[in-house]
Amino acid sequence: MKKRLFIGICLLFIGVIQAQESKLRLDVSVVDQASKPILGVSVYFKELKIGGYTDENGKTFIEAPKGRYELIIESLGYENLNQNINLNQDLSLNFTLNEQIETLDEVVVEGNLELFDPQMSVETIDYGIIKRTPAVLGESDLIQSLILLPGITDAGESTGGFNVRGGAADQNLILIDKIPIFYASHLFGLFSIFNTEIIDEVKLFKGGIPANYGGRISSVLDVKQKSPDKSETRFRAGIGILASNAVLETPLISDKTSLLLGARSSYAHWFLPLLDIENKAYFYDFNAKIETKINDNNRLSISSYYGRDYFNISNSFINAYGNQLIGLQWDHENDKGKKTRLNLYQSNLYYDLELDFVGFKWDSGVNTFSAQYDEEFFLSEKAKMNIGVSHNEYVFDPGSIRPNRSDSQIVENQLAKKYASESAAYMAVEHTISNTIKANYGLRFSYFDRKKQDAWFVYDNNEPLLYDSNFRRYIEAEAIDTLNQKGEGSLKKFYNLEPRLGVSIKTSENSSLKASATRIVQYLHLLSNANAPTPLDVWAPSGPFIDPQIGIQYAFGYNNKAFKKALDFSVETYYKTVDNRIDYIDGAELIANDAVERIILSGISRAYGVELLLEKRRANERFNGWIGYTWSKSEQLTKGRDKGTTEGAEIEKGINNGEWYPTPYDRRHELEISGQYKLSERINLSGNFVLRSGLPSNFPNAKFSFQNLTIPVFGGRNQDRLPAYHRLDFGLELKRKKNKNDIDRFWRFSIYNVYNRMNAFSIGFRRNVETSANEAIQTSVFGIIPSVSYNISF
C-alpha cells in the first residue's frame, strides 16, 4: 500500500508540471585559467533575471525566448564577465574567468537569483571569511565561523559539535564530499576536523532540507573539498602556535588527472619534556583527493580522510580516537543535460581507552557502508527534477573490554554489536510557477531495519524499565532471558514518508517572502549525559524499545536588499517539534551499558524562535560583515508512561514531574557581530563580538544531613542558568610582497577574548574548609589567547 502511495505521489508531482512554450536553450561551461571547472558561478540574463549556477563540472544552462540579451557571469574570487548574446538558435558557449589579483579577499557573492530562490534557511560561508575570522590558537576553524551566524550555537567553549535551532548536536548530518561523519572534533572540541585550506564550498541547511538529504532532523552541513588543479602544481602551508598545515595540488596527467593532499598536525607535546611533563596530547589528520576527467561527459574522484587524537597522562590514562573515511564519486552528464551521480563510501569512527591503574583496555566504534545513486534532469524549461536512492549498512560496536597486563583482574567481555540498515528513495522538483512564484517540493520514503544480534535481552511484560511508586523513582528491570539471534532476521522495521515543501514569492525587485515545511525521520540516537558530543558517547539504532525521532519544522522568512542593494536583510521565524526524543532517568549510567533500554524514556521536544540578519558580503569592497540576532526557546517534555486508568495502576512522574523543561542547549538570546575591513592592499582587519544567554544548569536549592553526610536537594531539571557568555575577538592579516621566487607570504595575528572574560563552562559546589560554608566554584576554559601564524603559497 505504501509503495503504491509513493508511486502515486511521484506521478502527481510530474502531472502538475504544466507544458510550457517552446524556448531556445543556451548551454554554458565555465572554467578558470587552468581549465578547471568552477562551481557555483552565477550565470543569468540581465534583462530577464533568469539563470542558474554552475555545477561541479562548471556547467549550467538557460532557456529563454528568442532575442538579444546581456549575459552576466559572476563568481567569488574571479573577474566578472558580461557578454551580449543573440539567442536566435540553441547555443553552447564556453567561458574562461580570470582570477582577481587579491584572491585571499574572496567573499560570498549574493545576487538576485538567491533572493528569488525558494530554498530558505541555508547558510553559505567561504574560504576568505573563515581564514580571517579570529580563532583559538590561530587555527582557522569552520565550525567557529558557522556559530557566528543566527540560529547556530554551541554548548560552550571547546565542547565540539554545534546546535541548530534548538536541536541537539547528534541531530546534525555532517558530510565531507557526501561521506557522513559521526564525530567532527579534535582535542575534545578545541578544533573541528575540517582543514579549511582544502574547503571549496560549505552549505548548512537549517530548515527546508531538500529531499535528497535524510537521517538527521535538525540540519545538514555539506562540505565539498576543492578539486585539485589539473594544469600546474600549487603548494601552501601555515605554521601556528599549536598546529601547522600543508596542502599540495598537482596534476598527474595534464588537464586530465590531478591529486590533492592536505595534512595538519599539532606539536605542543614536543615541548612538554622540556618542562618535565610526561603527558602527551596531540592530533593529526590527512586528506587526499584524486580526480580524473575521463571525457567531456564523465568524471571520477576518490576522497579520503584519516584523523587521530591521542592523550597520554603519565601512561596511566591513554585515550585515542578518530575517523577513517573513503569515498568514490562518479559524475556523468549526457548531451541533453541529464546528470547522473553515483557515490560509494565507508565511514568509521573508532574510540580506544586504556586505564593502566585499573588494568583494562576499552574499544568501541561505528562503521558505515553506503551507496547513493542520483539523477537530475529537466521536465520542462521551468521544472527540474532530482530522483535517487540510497542504502546504508551500520555496525555499532558499543565496546569491548579486555585486560592490558598479565596481573589484571579484568575479565574480557564484548558487548553485543548492533546491526541495522537504512534505505531511502526520494524525488524533488524545482518549479518556476510564474515570474513571481517559485517552489521546491519533494518526497522521501525511508525504510529502517533493526537486525537481530548476538545477545538480545527479554523482559517480563516486555518492560525493561520499572517504576517504584512508593519512592517515585525508576528501576532497571532484570532480563528474564537472553536470545542469540544474529543473522536470523529483523528485530523491528520502520517505514516513513518524509514530504518537503518550499515556496518563494517575489514581492518586488528587491524583496521576497519564503516559507517551508519539512518532515524528517532520524533512526540513530546519540546516548550521552553531556551537553555536547564526545567520542566516548554511544550511538544506538532504533529498535523494539527505541522509536525513531520524527522532526517537523515550519519556517517563514522575508528577504530584502536595502540601500541600493548594498545591504541584505533577512528575518526568519520557525517552529519545530520532535517526537520520540529520548531522555535519561536520574542516575543513568551509559558507559559499558549493554542494555540502554533500561535507563531511557521517550518524550517530545519543541523549539521556536526568530532570526534576524543584516549583512554586507560583497566582492571588491573594503568592508564586509554582518549583525545577527536570535531569540529562541528549546524545551522538552518527558511524561511518565501511561499504565492505564484502572484502580491501582501506577502513576509515573516522568522527568521533571511531567512538565516542560529547558533542553541543555537552550539559549534565549544570541547576538553576533562580525566584520572584516581592508585597510590597504596588504593589511586586513577583522573582529567578532558575541553575546549569548547562559546555558541551563542545575543548582541545589536546599540541603539536609544524613549520617554525617550533606545531601543537596535540587529543584526542577535545568531550571537554573550559567552567567551570560560574551567575548570580543580581533584579527590582523599582514601580507608581504612576493619574493623573487613568486611566493606569497603573510602573517596572521589574532586575539581571542580580548578583554579576558572568564566565561563559565560549569559551576560546581564545595565546602569551604576554613568557614565550613558551601561555596560555588566556576570552571572556565579560556581567557585571553593571543596567537600568530605564518603562511606561504605558490
> DSSP string covering 571-601, please?
EEEEEEEEEEEEEE-TT---TT-S-GGGSEE
Residue-level pLDDT at 604: 94
CB 169 within 8 Å of CB 526: yes
Could you give the CA distance from residue 53 to residue 201 in angstroms, rounded to a whole number? Answer: 13
Mean pLDDT along residues 761-771: 76
Identify whether the C-beta of residue 167 lies closer than 8 Å to the C-beta of residue 175: no
Indicate if the pLDDT at residue 342 is higher than 90: yes
User: How many other CB atoms sit within 10 Å of the CB of residue 1?
Assistant: 5
- ∠ CA 204-790-145 to the nearest 5 degrees? 15
Residue 103 Rama label (left phi>0; alpha psi -120 to 50; beta): alpha
Which three cell numbers, joined as nine digits, stand for 432? 518556476
> What's the N-to-C CA distance of the chain in angstroms?
61
Cell of 156: 560552550
| Amino acid in position 288 | A
Is residue 758's pLDDT more than 70?
yes
CATH number at 122-222: 2.170.130.10
Which grid cell is 215? 537521517
Rounded distance between C-alpha atoms, residue 66 and residue 23, angstroms: 7
pLDDT score for 152: 93
360 φ/ψ angles, rounded to the nearest 5 degrees = -140, 160
If one counts every other C-beta atom within 10 angstroms of the C-beta of residue 704, the result is 9
Cα–Cα distance for residue pair 44/275, rounded to 1 Å: 62
Amino acid at 30: V
Beta partners for residue 143, in sequence order: none
pLDDT tens sequence across 35-78: 778 877 888 888 777 788 887 778 888 888 888 888 999 886 68
CA distance 42 to 53: 5
Residue pLDDT, tens place only, 597-613: 888 888 999 999 999 99
* Predicted confidence (pLDDT) per residue in 272-324, tens digit: 777 667 788 889 999 999 999 998 889 999 999 999 999 888 787 888 999 99
What's the rounded mean pLDDT across residues 446-471? 85
Q: In what order do the strands lie in the sheet with 81-87?
A: 50-53, 42-45, 67-74, 81-87
Write out pLDDT tens, residues 431-455.
989 888 999 999 999 999 999 887 7
Task: For the chain, give every domain's residue range.
Answer: 2-100, 122-222, 223-793
Give the closest residue to 544 by CA, choosing from 485, 501, 502, 590.
Answer: 485
Sign of the C-alpha dihedral, residues 725, 726, 730, 731? positive
In this structure, whether the domain defined by 2-100 belongs to CATH 2.60.40.1120 is answered with yes
Residue 100's SS3 state is coil
For residues 233-249, average pLDDT: 90
Other C-beta atoms within 10 Å of 741: how many? 6
For all residues of the chain together, what is the average pLDDT?
84
pTM (2 d.p.): 0.85
The answer to whether 735 touches 683, Cβ cutoff 8 Å, is yes
| SS3 of residue 447 by DSSP | strand
Per-residue pLDDT for 649 more than 70? no
- Listed in sequence order, the residues at least 6 apart from 663 whose beta carbon sits closer than 8 Å to its beta carbon are 166, 168, 605, 607, 634, 635, 636, 696, 718
Q: Is the dihedral of CA 100, 103, 108, 114 positive or negative?
A: positive
The 10s digit of each residue's pLDDT in 657-680 is: 888 999 988 999 999 999 988 888
Q: Which fold has domain 223-793?
A: Maltoporin; Chain A (2.40.170)
| Longest pairwise C-alpha distance within the chain | 94
Whether 655 shows a pLDDT value over 90: the answer reads: no
Calculate mean pLDDT across residues 73-88. 83
CA distance 48 to 241: 52
User: Based on the number of CB atoms within 10 Å of its own CB, is 148 exposed (0-12), middle (13-18) or buried (19 or more)?
Assistant: buried
Cβ–Cβ < 8 Å for 94, 68: no
The predicted-structure confidence for 136-164, as pLDDT tens digits, reads as follows 676 788 888 888 999 999 877 767 789 99
Burial class from Cβ neighbours inside 10 Å (0-12, 13-18, 19+) for residue 719 reads: middle
**Quick one: cell of 702?**
536546599
Average pLDDT of span 765-794: 81
Give the whole-angstrom CA distance, residue 500 versus residue 486.
36
CA atoms within 13 A on the CB side of 720: 12
Please check whether the two domains, 2-100 and 223-793, share a CATH topology: no
| Secondary structure tally for the chain: helices H, strands E | 4, 52
> Buried b vs exposed e over 282-292: b needs ≥16 C-beta within 10 Å?
bbbbebbbbbb
∠ Cα 589 593 594 (to 5°)? 155
